[in-house]
Amino acid sequence: MMRFYKYEALGNDYVLLDNREGRIPEQQKLGLAKKLCDRRHGIGSDGLLLVEGDGTRMRMFNPDGSEAEMCGNGIRCFVRYLHDHVEERGVEERGEYTIQTAAGSQRVGVDGGSITVAMPEPVDGGEVELEVLGNALIFKRVSVGNPHAVIFKAFENWRELGEIVENDPNFPDRTNVEFVEIADMNSCRISVWERGAGPTPACGTGAVASCFAGVSDGRLERDTWIRAEMPGGALEVSIGKDALIRGPATEVFSGEKTI
């Protein structure tokens, strides 16, 4: 038996396991993610978070078993766990953490219920024109430690389009896909198709990729907090010297399960 924790951040939910003692061998992690994330036969979640190493190394696996390089909502849940259960700090206590991910080291600050993450530096990968369901669509490629394809247009069938774009040959490692509507210079609405998970309520790296693309194109304002509205709620994003996200993360429940 092993204790698990269920967290959510803007509707994105995760199962978290503390694997600092190495009880879960590497060869079991892919299959375990599929099993635990299953909403009918498992606990059910958008991803599996593993606490590893000295407690500051985060691993994140998608429901299909693939490993994500970085996860903006997941890292806030990860740090919420460290703050509350490992450091055993009070809810109102502040905390500063450096978390190791496959995309590098990320600085994270906890201030009450708000968690701020210094995300990987976004990289502009240029535009790509794709033929999707008979339409020529132009996407901006952005890396936030993981791949994203951003388009500034809303579609009723965005889920169908997202699945096709995720698996387009132009993205050898597949890609997350964001459909963005600009409300004004300080706010936008985003629909997210997440690589390996499908449509999700929110995506931290997706919000950064969308806002970075918007700032680069002059659609959104630089060096200020941008309100990124997603189905699960609003995330604050700042694109400047650093790419920052700010938002909540909440423990939902915990229990024990045979692993």
What does the pLDDT look like over 84-119, one tens digit per residue?
A: 999 999 878 899 999 999 999 999 999 999 999 999
Alpha carbons 29 and 106: distance in angstroms, whole number: 23
Question: Does residue 30 have a pLDDT over 90?
Answer: yes
Question: Does residue 131 have a pLDDT over 90?
Answer: yes
Overall number of domains in the chain: 2
Sorted by sequence, the CB contacts under 8 Å of residue 210 that are 6+ apart come out as: 148, 150, 178, 180, 188, 190, 228
What is the rounded average pLDDT for all residues in the chain?
97
Q: Are residues 128 and 237 in the same domain?
A: yes
Is 188 labeled as catalytic in the residue annotation? no
Q: Are residues 88 and 22 in the same domain?
A: yes
Q: Are residues 30 and 84 in the same domain?
A: yes
Q: Are residues 96 and 169 in the same domain?
A: no
User: What are the tens digits of pLDDT across the range 215-255?
Assistant: 999 999 999 999 999 999 999 999 999 999 999 999 999 99
User: What are the tens digits of pLDDT across the range 45-68?
Assistant: 999 999 999 999 999 999 999 999
Q: Are residues 7 and 113 in the same domain?
A: yes
Report pLDDT for 210.
Answer: 98
Catalytic entry in 71, 77, 188, 211: 71
Q: Is 57 exposed, middle or buried (0-12, 13-18, 19+ CB in 10 A)?
A: middle
3-state secondary structure of 86: helix
User: What are the tens digits of pLDDT across the range 166-198?
Assistant: 999 999 999 999 999 999 999 999 999 999 999
- The structure's pTM equals 0.95
Rg (CA), the chain: 18
Sorted by sequence, the CB contacts under 8 Å of residue 27 that are 6+ apart come out as: none
Report which DSSP code applies to 121: P
Backbone angles phi, psi at 102, to 5 degrees: -65, -15
Q: What is the CATH number of the domain that holds 86?
A: 3.10.310.10
Q: Are residues 142 and 223 in the same domain?
A: yes
User: What are the tens digits of pLDDT across the range 3-27?
Assistant: 999 999 999 999 999 999 999 999 9
Report pLDDT for 58.
Answer: 98
Confidence label for 40 from pLDDT (cuts 50, 70 and 90): very high
Q: Are residues 99 and 132 in the same domain?
A: no
Report pLDDT for 90.
Answer: 85
Is 203 labeled as catalytic in the residue annotation? yes
Q: Are residues 111 and 187 in the same domain?
A: no
Report pLDDT for 92.
Answer: 83
Q: Are residues 70 and 134 in the same domain?
A: no
Q: Are residues 94 and 185 in the same domain?
A: no
Q: Are residues 176 and 251 in the same domain?
A: no
Catalytic entry in 37, 77, 203, 211: 203
Name the residue range of residue 162's domain: 123-241
